């Protein structure tokens, strides 16, 4: 099983929504590590594949230190100020072994709020989509100040004049 590691250089299609060091975008819920990389939460299976591989020949490449820091924070585990990889791995391994690895309630709340805000942002036009659409059906008619479309009114008057015999 491979660990899902987001490329910290990738550019989102839409701007992410933020709360503290957490963000949400098209890639899901992430936490920003000290090096400003944004990392998604690994699930228990992914963490076990890294920390307790079933086949030593299939050991995954060890993620960077900031990835481990992000996992500690995703699961509400203490983070050392130096954020050294070995203690981070030990804390996560202990939590896995003790069956206490769980996402804290307050982090689930942040995730739910950010997901809701992200979904709301998808319903709003982005600045790049605010420009005139290339699809003709997406364009709105311009109304006059009093709310009446003058071009439509002139056309209707012309049709009425022709029907009554007054027009050309």
Query: pLDDT tens across 16-74, in order?
Result: 999 999 999 999 999 998 888 899 999 999 999 999 988 877 777 889 999 999 999 99
Does 140 reside within a domain? no
Does 41 reside within a domain? yes
Query: Which residue range(s) make up the domain with 56?
Result: 17-123
Does 1 reside within a domain? no
**Within 13 Å, how many C-alpha atoms sit on residue 117's CB side?**
16
Q: What span, in angstroms and rounded, lies between the C-alpha atoms of 98 and 102?
A: 11
Q: What radius of gyration do the chain's Cα atoms show?
A: 28
Does 162 reside within a domain? no
Question: Who's near 51: CB < 8 A, 6+ residues apart?
Answer: 89, 92, 93, 96
pLDDT in tens, 77-114: 998 877 689 999 999 999 999 999 999 999 999 999 99
Torsion of CA 21, 19, 17, 104, to 10 degrees: 80
Structural domains in the chain (count):
1
Does 92 reside within a domain? yes
């Amino acid at each position: 099983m491979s660990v899902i590691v987001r490329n910290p250089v990738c550019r989102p299609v839409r701007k992410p929504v933020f709360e503290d060091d957490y963000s949400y975008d098209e890639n899901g819920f992430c936490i920003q590590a000290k090096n400003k990389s944004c990392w998604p939460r690994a699930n228990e299976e992914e963490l076990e594949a890294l920390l307790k591989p079933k086949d030593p020949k299939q050991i995954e490449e060890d993620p960077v230190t900031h990835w481990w820091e992000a996992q500690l924070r995703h699961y509400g585990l203490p983070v050392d100020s130096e954020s050294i990889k070995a203690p981070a791995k030990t804390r996560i391994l202990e939590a896995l072994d003790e069956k206490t690895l769980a996402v804290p309630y307050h982090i689930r709340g942040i995730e739910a709020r950010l997901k809701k805000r992200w979904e709301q942002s998808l319903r709003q036009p982005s600045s790049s989509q605010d420009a005139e659409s290339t699809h003709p059906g997406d364009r709105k008619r311009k109304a006059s100040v009093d709310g009446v479309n003058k071009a439509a009114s002139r056309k209707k008057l012309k049709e009425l004049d022709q029907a009554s015999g007054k027009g050309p």
